[in-house]
Chains A and B, each alone.
Chain A
Amino acid sequence: MSDTHAETVSYVRETMLPQQEPPASTVGPLGWAKTNLFSGWFNTVLSVLSGLFILWLAYRLLPWIISPTWQATSLNECREIIGALNKPHGGACWGVISERWKQLMFGFYPPEHYWRPVLSLILLLVALGPLLFRHLVPAKVIYFSMLYPFIAAWLLWGGTIWNPIVAILGFVIIGLSLKFLTSVLNPALALIIGVVLAVIWWVALAGTVAGGLSAVLPIGIEAIASRQFGGFMLSITIGVTAILCSLPIGILLALGRQSDLLLVKAMCVGFIEFIRGVPLITLLFVASVLLNIFLPPGTNFDIILRVIIMVTLFASAYMAEVVRGGLAALPKGQYEGADSLGLDYWQSQRLIIMPQALKISIPGIVSTFIGVFKDTTLVSIISMFDPIGLSNAIRADTAWNGVYWELFIFIGLVFFIFCFSMSRYSMYLERRLQTGHR
């Protein structure tokens, strides 16, 4: 059969043809454009329209941005400079940024002390090193991280150096009682005794001791009042503190919500749902007008501290729900495995459950962090001078009355840099902790 067939075919190629280049329209920039921009009439229309939009935006925006108004000291001066240039669509008035950027960063903090917030920010990065990039930073730095909150508070608010030292001593008391009492007592009991001793120290003795020590050895830096705080410094102070405190509280709340203890569970559910059901602004109203009513008569503590407390409570309720999601996503076998190894509740949480649950909830945790940082701007409503509050003040100034794009572009850009880098870090962390074999 094959023979007859062979006879009918006049020519059979005996060598392979060399491979041909793919058609020019499917490779290179042309091919890329064809598949990604012009596949089908609908995509072509979309591409052309959005291309035109981008070109129009660039045409209007670039001349506006490139505007030599950095030296101007008022909006009118800006208008004169731009008017002299004869631009068709006007130009930005960057003078407001060059004149007021320090205020947007530090609020009304005395300029000669600007080194203090800057130094605390740099030290913050050092202190966060062992937490964020564990494999790049020496492990010993963690001791510095523990001391950092006291150093930062002292640098920002100033005052005598004995205040932070006395505060640290309280934690030393807890540590010592844990170390010496655990051999004779139940660890939980030892912890409770330590905390009680520390509270007695902080409430009753610390103030007197610090006062006495500073009278004998007056070492310290100039004290700065809370109402002089402002700008991004205020946002970062509130945001970072609330972020760092909300994670542990949120974890405890999530554990409480998952717990078998009915009363504990009910309290946690009530707290979480209440906080999540009301807007942050109402909690800030509580901080500004109500917290002093709830506390013993005569207590009048710092407004920043009150705001931090409320923002922390707010953030921890959201954090609790994120962590609960992680706990729920963990297969039941992990809990049973931990039990079968004979680990008790806290051991299994610490060694088996939490490392996995927290890893699952990293994206949620970081987006809560970002949300908290963005929400710090709400303090402008209770008349604190965060960047938004300052922008209102600057726009009310006669020299800059009528400026808005430039200010909000600057503020938005700074927030964007912070929040976007947080979200990129979370992606990096997810990749680094990825243990699945996919």
Chain B
Amino acid sequence: MTTLTDPPSESFRLSMLIYDTRYRAITFQIIALICFLLFFGWLISNTAQNLADLGKEPSFGFLMEPAGYDINQRLIDYNNQDSHLRAAFVGLLNTLLVAFLGCVTATVVGVIVGVLRLSNNWLISRLMAVYVEMFRNVPVLMWIVLCMAILIESLPAPRAFRGDDAEASMKLFDTVAITNRGVYIPEPLFSRSLGDIPVGNLFNISIDLIAILIVLAIGFYVSHRIKLKADATQEATGVRPRTWYMRLGVIFVPLAALLVILGFHLGYPELSGFNFSGGTHLRNSLIALWLALSLYTAAFIAENVRAGILAISKGQTEAASALGLRPSITMRLVILPQALRVIIPPLISQYLNLTKNSSLAIAVGYMDITGTLMGITLNQTGRELETVLLGMLIYLAISLAISAVMNFYNSRVKLVER
């Protein structure tokens, strides 16, 4: 006689859906999915009902209609008879312009401030700490509005430049005019220009610019080859040949030759009537936004840089000096490459923040994608749903693109671990 029986047969009971951990996960996920779909269905049906009540049909056809408004700061040709789509594209380019300028400036300022904050000079490190705390603890919108107010209120009007004993004068040997309507800087001109090539129907790209970029790229490539060759010679013989003049030469001599061939000269801004003409006009709104975003983000980048450098153990510095490396070389060859790994991930998010903060342009009237698509186009066409959703998608795409590029770079410099 045996007291042992077979284990109870695995029959499925409904209560196992809740009490058995094997099934519970599935139950919960299905419930979550149903709730999610119900919620979305509810939102969509509400939206459809509301739009029907308002007599609006969701459609993106309005993008092809003439925009009817002007955009003063633009990178490509645009007039008020162009479509809303083209206006949005002008805005997108403006967003990218200020984001790019801002990221570059913020990185430069941020790295300098971050390194100086670690300086053993008491006064300098305190000054930098004051800068960082001042910018980090005050909203960026206030800095943008303040920069704009300073530019408008404190700079001389163009008419102050008039007359023989003018109140204001142009800076940098009469080449730059700083006025309360913006800054006029010399523009590059080519007397023997190669012309433009149209890209689709959207905009023209100057062949001169392409030629310059190609020459520069070739120059940098040859310069890099010379460096590799010098490295190889140093490996083989122990003596490093002097190459700096060759490396500078292959970059700058062809560039200078090309500029002469194209007939490069600068077009200076000149006072005509009550305003300046000629030269490139950087509007106040662009400068205020650029300045405020760069200085604000630089304060955050400075903290990231400082944290990155502090994260490198002191043993690295000591080992480098034991090898006889000078402090500057230690910084360049030992500390920074390691600190870079710590710095880059937060740097990516700072770039993303700057790009997203550039949407505050609307506060100073800089026509970025928020100002065109989600500002004037929204108000003129009354298409809230389409414009806001499209704007969000564009920002989402920009963010994802930036983080993809930077993550790729991050994976290149990342320490390969086990």
Q: Identify the A interface with B (CB < 8 A).
A: 35-37, 39, 43, 46-47, 50-51, 53-54, 186, 260-264, 267, 274, 276-282, 285-286, 289-290, 292-297, 370, 374-375, 377-378, 380-381, 388, 391-392, 395, 402, 404, 408, 411-412, 415-416, 419-420, 423
Q: How far is the CA of A395 from the CA of B149 in the complex (A)?
A: 10
Q: Is the C-beta of B43 less than 8 angstroms from some C-beta in chain A?
A: yes
Min Cβ gap B89→A in Å is 18
Whether the Cβ atoms of A286 and B362 lie closer than 8 Å is no
Residues in B whose Cβ lies below 8 Å from that of A262: 29
Whether the Cβ atoms of B142 and A388 lie closer than 8 Å is yes
Whether the Cβ atoms of A415 and B138 lie closer than 8 Å is yes
Contacts A39-B120, A290-B385 given; 12 further ones with Cβ under 8 A?
A37-B121, A50-B127, A261-B32, A263-B32, A277-B400, A296-B46, A297-B46, A377-B142, A388-B139, A412-B142, A415-B138, A416-B137
Whether the Cβ atoms of A282 and B374 lie closer than 8 Å is yes
Contact flag A380-B50 (CB < 8 Å), given A37-B121, A416-B134: no
Residues in A whose Cβ lies below 8 Å from that of B47: 293-294
Whether the Cβ atoms of B359 and A279 lie closer than 8 Å is yes
Query: Which of A260, A264, A282, A374 is B138 in contact with, Cβ under 8 Å?
Result: A374
Q: How far is the CA of A374 from the CA of B392 in the complex (A)?
A: 22
Query: Which of A47, A278, A290 is B123 in contact with, Cβ under 8 Å?
Result: A47
Residue of A nearest to B358 (CB): A279
Q: How far is the CA of A280 from the CA of B357 in the complex (A)?
A: 8
Whether the Cβ atoms of A289 and B46 lie closer than 8 Å is no
Residue of B nearest to A281 (CB): B359
A-B CB contact pairs (8 Å), 30 listed: A35-B120, A37-B122, A37-B123, A43-B119, A43-B121, A46-B121, A46-B124, A50-B124, A261-B25, A261-B28, A261-B32, A263-B29, A264-B28, A278-B399, A279-B357, A286-B388, A290-B384, A294-B47, A295-B46, A296-B49, A370-B137, A381-B141, A381-B363, A388-B139, A392-B145, A404-B150, A408-B146, A411-B142, A415-B138, A416-B133
Whether the Cβ atoms of B370 and A281 lie closer than 8 Å is yes
B368-386 vs A, CB cutoff 8 Å, 1 = contact: the mask equals: 0010001000100000110
Query: Which of B46, B153, B363 is A402 in contact with, Cβ under 8 Å?
Result: B153
B385-405 vs A, CB cutoff 8 Å, 1 = contact: the mask equals: 100100110011001100000
Residues in A whose Cβ lies below 8 Å from that of B391: 282, 285
Min Cβ gap B345→A in Å is 11
Residues in A whose Cβ lies below 8 Å from that of B385: 290, 293
- Among A267, A279, A294, A295, find the residue whose CB has the most chain B CB atoms closer than 10 A: A279
Residues in B whose Cβ lies below 8 Å from that of A377: 139, 141-142
Whether the Cβ atoms of B396 and A292 lie closer than 8 Å is no
Q: How far is the CA of A411 from the CA of B139 in the complex (A)?
A: 10
Query: Which of B124, B141, B378 is A388 in contact with, Cβ under 8 Å?
Result: B141
Whether the Cβ atoms of B46 and A293 lie closer than 8 Å is yes
Q: Identify the B interface with A (CB < 8 A).
A: 18, 25, 28-29, 32-33, 36, 43, 46-47, 49-51, 53, 119-124, 127, 133-134, 136-142, 145-146, 149-150, 153, 352, 356-357, 359-360, 362-363, 370, 374, 378, 384-385, 388, 391-392, 395-396, 399-400
Q: How far is the CA of A51 from the CA of B133 in the complex (A)?
A: 20
Dominant SS among interface residues on chain A: helix
Whether the Cβ atoms of A423 and B137 lie closer than 8 Å is yes
Min Cβ gap B118→A in Å is 13
Q: How far is the CA of A262 from the CA of B28 in the complex (A)?
A: 11
Residues in B whose Cβ lies below 8 Å from that of A50: 123-124, 127
Residues in A whose Cβ lies below 8 Å from that of B146: 404, 408, 412
Whether the Cβ atoms of A43 and B120 lie closer than 8 Å is yes
Contact flag A264-B388 (CB < 8 Å), given A36-B122, A416-B134: no
Whether the Cβ atoms of A282 and B153 lie closer than 8 Å is no
Q: How far is the CA of A419 from the CA of B142 in the complex (A)?
A: 14
Whether the Cβ atoms of B43 and A294 lie closer than 8 Å is yes
Whether the Cβ atoms of A264 and B29 lie closer than 8 Å is yes
Q: Which 5 A-B pairs have the closest CB atoms?
A: A404-B149, A419-B137, A36-B122, A279-B356, A277-B399
Q: How far is the CA of A286 from the CA of B352 in the complex (A)?
A: 21
Whether the Cβ atoms of A263 and B392 lie closer than 8 Å is no
Q: How far is the CA of A312 from the CA of B181 in the complex (A)?
A: 39
Q: How far is the CA of A416 from the CA of B138 in the complex (A)?
A: 6
Whether the Cβ atoms of A278 and B395 lie closer than 8 Å is yes
Residues in B whose Cβ lies below 8 Å from that of A404: 146, 149-150, 153
Residues in A whose Cβ lies below 8 Å from that of B127: 50, 53-54
Q: How far is the CA of A392 from the CA of B29 in the complex (A)?
A: 50
Residues in A whose Cβ lies below 8 Å from that of B119: 43, 46
Whether the Cβ atoms of A408 and B363 lie closer than 8 Å is no
Residue of A nearest to B148 (CB): A404
Residue of A nearest to B395 (CB): A278
Q: How far is the CA of A154 from the CA of B245 in the complex (A)?
A: 76
Whether the Cβ atoms of B46 and A374 lie closer than 8 Å is no
Query: Which of A47, A282, A292, A297 is B392 in contact with, Cβ under 8 Å?
Result: A282
- Among B32, B149, B352, B378, find the residue whose CB has the most chain A CB atoms closer than 10 A: B149
Q: How far is the CA of A374 from the CA of B29 in the complex (A)?
A: 37
Q: How far is the CA of A412 from the CA of B143 in the complex (A)?
A: 9
Contact flag A293-B392 (CB < 8 Å), given A278-B356, A282-B374: no
Contact flag A277-B396 (CB < 8 Å), given A286-B388, A293-B384: yes
Q: How far is the CA of A293 from the CA of B56 in the complex (A)?
A: 11
Min Cβ gap A134→B in Å is 26
Contact flag A380-B363 (CB < 8 Å), given A261-B25, A281-B370: yes
Min Cβ gap B392→A in Å is 5
- Among B133, B141, B399, find the residue whose CB has the most chain A CB atoms closer than 10 A: B141
Contact flag A263-B33 (CB < 8 Å), given A278-B395, A381-B362, A404-B149: yes
Residues in A whose Cβ lies below 8 Å from that of B32: 261, 263-264, 267
